[in-house]
Amino acid sequence: MFNDSFIWGRLFIPLIMIFVLGLMVFVHRRQVFKYLYIVNIFLYLVAIITYFILENHPVGQPFPYPWMIVIPFVWAISIFLAFGLSFASLSAFVIEQAQRHIWARIIIGLVVLAIMIAIAIGIYYFIEIIRVIGYF
């Protein structure tokens, strides 16, 4: 299992996010967001369990039960939904905390700055690709 080159994205990052989301459930004041965090934790747990099932299954062998054919789809859906909900959860948490704390405002400013830099880099690479192709 530890020989998997994608273990960070499939096991360690979800475990870290489960811990962070658990802290957010404990700290956050609004009940609606707590349910969002709990659903996100559940999705990460489903993704980790299905990852272990897929990792321990021999390659090229059929699944022992017919219903186990859906496990790769369950893993893919749960991990992508969990990553998307994590982005939404962290954004909602930081925006909610920005109303009361200066550290959250600083984080929002740094994220906006990072997005502007990423857009500028993307535009630069787009222009370079177009220049290599020969349209400019």
pLDDT in tens, 75-92: 999 999 999 999 999 888
For residue 60, pLDDT over 70 is answered with yes
Percent of the chain whose predicted confidence (pLDDT) is above 90: 41
Q: Which sign does the torsion angle of CA 65, 67, 71, 73 carry?
A: positive
Q: What is the pTM of this model?
A: 0.76
Q: What residue spans define the domains of the chain? A: 7-99, 101-136
pLDDT tens for 45-55 read: 999 999 998 88
Whether 121 contacts 115, CB under 8 Å: no
